Amino acid sequence: MTGDITCSVVRSELDFDRLEPQQLLRLEGHIRVCKECTLWRAQMLSLSNSMQNLDEYDVPDLVTRNILHAVEKVSLQENQIPAIWIYSFMAAAAAIYLFSAHDMVDSADGSFSWLASLLILLAGKFLAEKTHSLPVKKLG
């Protein structure tokens, strides 16, 4: 302990990024007269400088391309969602019309209309499912 402040207080406070100038002066005052804290501070500065000098790796181009491609795909799908709802509604309406127009499946026209209605509904289901898949490419 040097003056009115302990070494452990100095060491825990000195890094904090919201110190008032007066607090800082008090801590510096301690360090000037305390050999252990002077050495400690030199070591901490070294550690901190070395952290800032750690190598940073560039992002592989493929990663950037994949991100942009996936975002574009998601964006297109999101734009398509209102259209998909409109198409689905039209498909359902067409199917209901065909079902109701030829409600008997024992005639050729009736069978054809039921088949066409089922195909319209399946196409609507396929389109709806396609809009909800997320395009993530695994690199690893």
Partner 1 sequence: MNHNRDDQSINDQVDRNLINLVLSGDHRAFESLVRRYQKLVYNVVLQMVQSRDSAADLTQETFLKSYRSLASFKPELRFKPWLIRIATNTALNSLRDEKPHDSLDQIMESDPCFDLTAPENVEKQVELTLATQELSVALAELPVRQRTIFVLRYQYDFSYDDIAQITNESIPAIKSMLFRTRERLRKQLFEKNGTEPKKTVERGIE
Contact status: 55 vs partner 1 (CB under 8 A): yes
113: CB partners within 8 A, 6+ apart: 98, 99, 101, 102
- The contact mask relative to partner 1 for 2-21 (x = CB under 8 A, - = no) is ---------xx--xxxx---
Bridge-partner residues for 2, per DSSP? 5
Pick from 1, 25, 33, 67: which binds partner 1 (CB under 8 A)? 67
Pick from 1, 28, 38, 60: which binds partner 1 (CB under 8 A)? 60
The distance of closest approach from Cβ of residue 82 to partner 1 in the complex, given in angstroms and rounded to an integer, is 13
59: CB partners within 8 A, 6+ apart: none
**Contact by Cβ (8 Å): 121, 95:** yes
Pick from 4, 20, 49, 129: which binds partner 1 (CB under 8 A)? 49
Contact status: 54 vs partner 1 (CB under 8 A): yes
Contact status: 57 vs partner 1 (CB under 8 A): yes
